[in-house]
Amino acid sequence: MRTQVAIIGAGPAGLLLSHLLAEGGIESVVLETRTREYVESRIRAGILEHSTVELLDSLGLGKRVHAEGDPHNGIYLQWPQERHHIDFAGLVGRRVWVYGQTELQRDLGVARETGGQPIHYGISDTAVHEVVTEHPSVTFTDSAGRAQRITADVVVGCDGSFGPSRAAVPEHARSTWEHTYPYSWLGVLADVAPSTDELIYAWHPDGFAMHSMRSASVSRLYLQVPAGTDIADWSDDRIWTALATRLGHGQGGWTLNPGPITEKSVLPMRSFVMAPLRHGRLFLAGDAGHIVPPTGAKGLNLAVADVALLAPALIALLGEGDDRLAEEYSETALRRIWRCTHFSWWMTTMLHQSGDPFDAQLQLSQLRWVASSTAAATGLAENYAGLPIGF
Ligand code: RFL
Ligand code: PHB
């Protein structure tokens, strides 16, 4: 097989990149280990930034976001006896959309199917070869068990945090930065109407809690738990009791509506950045190149921002032989990546209990500052609602 761009991974980064390339007349093949059904039902992110929605609109892919997503003008920041609304729309003129990653993944899947995109699901043994030549290739075993090789002009690793692309950049050619947090999130999906109109991020002495949502009848909730927590230790009753306490059930007449839990899992929290995001003819985008903890809702949006930069660079490189944007891709993308890495770390460390009483006082001081100072709230709003693509 031969193509112009071999894309490893059919997550949001891989599928959106193949779409953007096709719009620019560049062909690609997407390779994915999982089945399409698995990829489309993976419960993950829930918030799309303003610029993500603008990009989807510009591609004609935003119709369902507008029909079924829910625009939110801000978030609530909370600590015991206090709840404050941070009004992104009023502060920075930008807002966010509640729209599950599962839905975006379906929209991108349908768009690529309509466009006749070759996507090989259910593959194994993915390996990247000869990336420092003009003809890199990817070998894999297809879903029927046949050994395959795709030769391309460029390979893009959109294979998330556990894919093989990152390791195809030799250690001497890369730098990495990593921070592991001593806590995880216990996330649940529940068949119950949200108890809030916009997301609640709650600081509490027992640990952070968050109330998000997926639709008018499905709530998404998270609890801070120690790293290494066994999900078996958390019965549904224990989860609802902890959520009620940390989210302030009963305070000011606010109530948390419990309901049947349909999914629960424990998610470790990590920050990771690799540079550069290019080695020869191999480029990295999305979680393959960087990971943020979910507290700032940045991971999916960063993956989108990466491919929005990479697509024009590859179109110029392969369409016109102009490699200037491709040369700049890593440095330009890393500016936004580090901004989001800092913002996600800041939101995470401001809201989660570290166990140190000194940290707790500093956290409360920051929360009071953000809730009472327009300057501080504007900084949070600008980062959360998302900087323009190309920042
Ligand atoms: P993905 O979505 O992980 O896709 C990578 C794909 O590569 C495939 N793959 C391979 N394919 C071929 N060969 C191999 N050897 C392969 N190895 C792996 C995988 O099967 C997969 O399909 O990465 P991508 O496209 O970079 O997208 C990144 C986002 O998925 C991720 O950043 C977000 O989900 C992070 N995130 C959130 N981001 C937000 O913007 N807002 C949020 O509210 C938000 N909440 C979250 C989140 C992530 C979470 N989890 C589970 C990590 C909440 C959670 C709970
Ligand atoms: C979610 O709805 O899953 C979600 C929302 C906001 C976050 C993280 C996760 O910061």
Rounded to two decimals, what is the model's pTM?
Answer: 0.96
Q: Find out whether the beta carbon of 301 lies less than 6 Å from any atom of ligand 1.
A: yes
Tell me the three state secondary structure of residue 247. helix
Pick the catalytic residue: 50, 72, 204, 290? Answer: 72
Q: Which atom of ligand 1 is nearest to the CA of 12?
A: 25
Task: Specify the residue with its C-alpha closest to ligand 2, atom 7.
Answer: 297
**Mutate which of 159, 231, 344 for ligand 1 pocket (most atoms within 8 A of beta carbon):** 159
- The pLDDT, as a whole number, for residue 390 is 66
Averaged over 242-247, what is the pLDDT? Answer: 98
H/E run at residue 290: strand 290-291
Query: Rounded to an integer, what distance in angstroms lies between the CA atom of residue 333 and that of residue 219?
Result: 33
Averaged over 261-278, what is the pLDDT? Answer: 97
Let me know if 181 is a catalytic residue. Answer: no
Residue length of the chain: 391
CB 155 within 8 A of CB 131: yes
Whether 25 has a pLDDT exceeding 70, the answer reads: yes
DSSP 388: P
Query: Rounded to an integer, what distance in angstroms lies between the CA atom of residue 94 and that of residue 99?
Result: 16
Torsion angles phi and psi, residue 381, rounded to 5: -60, -45
Reported as a single tens digit per residue, the pLDDT across 319-338 is 999 999 999 999 999 999 99
Reported as a single tens digit per residue, the pLDDT across 162-179 is 999 999 999 999 999 999
CB 72 within 8 A of CB 98: yes
Which residue ranges form the domains of the chain, and what is each CATH number?
5-46+100-174+276-353 (3.50.50.60), 178-268 (3.30.9.10)
Whether 389 has a pLDDT exceeding 80, the answer reads: no
Query: Rounded to an integer, what distance in angstroms lies between the CA atom of residue 385 and that of residue 369?
Result: 19
- pLDDT over 70 for what percent of the chain? 100
Ligand 2 binding residues, C-beta < 6 A: 45-47, 199, 212, 220, 294-297
Query: How far is CA 12 from each of CA 16, 107, 287, 314, rounded to the nearest angstrom?
Result: 6, 10, 10, 18
Torsion angles phi and psi, residue 21, rounded to 5: -65, -40
Let me know if 76 is a catalytic residue. Answer: no
